[in-house]
Structure 1
């Protein structure tokens, strides 16, 4: 076969392929692919995925908003139901109270005015008298939305006699603060004033001692703890000062506190601590595992096991706190006014 025949056969083969491609319109697959085409295809795939994710997030957010709206509507409905029940309960309670007051008044032969009678307009004379009483008390004659019965009730509240509070005892000197044993039972009013003045003096001296410390000492951890102990003791002793003012300290606590103060004034701090322990622990010594250390009297140890003697400090949180504050005052007193006998120093 010569070259001319080979060339003719190749031309015929190429011609047949071109005719077949023209009839089918199918592009011939590329042998090589551009990098830009790969990057473009990857970018289109990424954008399609991001669009799907955005659509999914938007759908989740929409469902969440719908759920929150449903929950809010349910809460509002529950709130309205609760308010409605409260209002119904209040109306029933007011109705029962009105019926009870009417029954009591009927039993006593008193006829109570109805709500319409209470709220009907006053006569000109009654109105003048009511306005004069309000002006005398330097109060507004009428308040917006106030009915006649409400005005009368407000006037009754203003004219009601208020209990006169007992004045706090005047300041005492150090000599006048010394408590005598006989005054504890014979002149309790004087002793209450002495107790209030002595504890107030101790807290004042305690505050001065803390303020006189150097700045570097006050900033230390120990210095901050000392200040916190003072502030806590001062706060917890406020109920005790109210008892002093009202003169209503518990009968079992009052004589013990007097003993503690008298021993502290004599600078017998160990004995004062013994009285504090007998007052604060009581029958609670064995159940909580407190030892007998610090209670030196045999009779005191025996009294711990007597029946019918409850510990005040374990039954009342307020009493426990101000008794603990009294103990802290004793600890300060032995540093501010040290005893002549070193054995009287508490551990």
Structure 2
């Protein structure tokens, strides 16, 4: 999981660099075309002895005509280096313009990566606060209640009793995960892998909040509640293979047709009544459920 996060971050950085390079080349090409058009217009004006106003030249030159101080200020505001190796002032202005064009296109890369970056920033800010308050080694007091192994018979007999049992069981595991992160040595916390692990924990806790809200309000669908109860039951018994099987049935279903399909034709088929809701995936229903189901696996 950690290696996958690192590879994904590296791929996104490479894509961003390629996009910046492509936009910079595009801007250079447009600027060169504008200069050629200007030269052609001047030659035509000299040959005909008619003064020609330069009204067709684009505003690229004027948009790049900013001072070096302003260029440095904007680059620093974006967290970018103020000068690359062998870069001229003109190239630096082109790089700034390429970055601004990427931002103007609507931040196409918003999503999971930004959430993970925010979690990393939250981890670093929390570490700074802990160091300033000299509270190293102290554990936070929680409101978790020690519950026994969840009984799967409650799924059929009394589903309402499952809500508090699942709630406190997940809260307990989440608190143990947080304490395990806090008890790590300082050099592990400061390492890149340590920060990624802490950010994963913070992100999972944030994504699980909608699930806890549904558990408190007792508003989970019956099939989702049954699958989560199975996951918690097998997790408490340390039968992780069966817990993973329950997670797969919850996330992707076990139907032999594409994920989420409930009707494979316009007419009723003989096998239509065999399709039940527990065979249909829930991980793709909406973004909120996708996040807390994946965090539940973590």
Both proteins in one fold, TM over 0.5: no
What TM-score do you get using the length of structure 1 for normalisation?
0.38
What TM-score do you get using the length of structure 2 for normalisation?
0.44
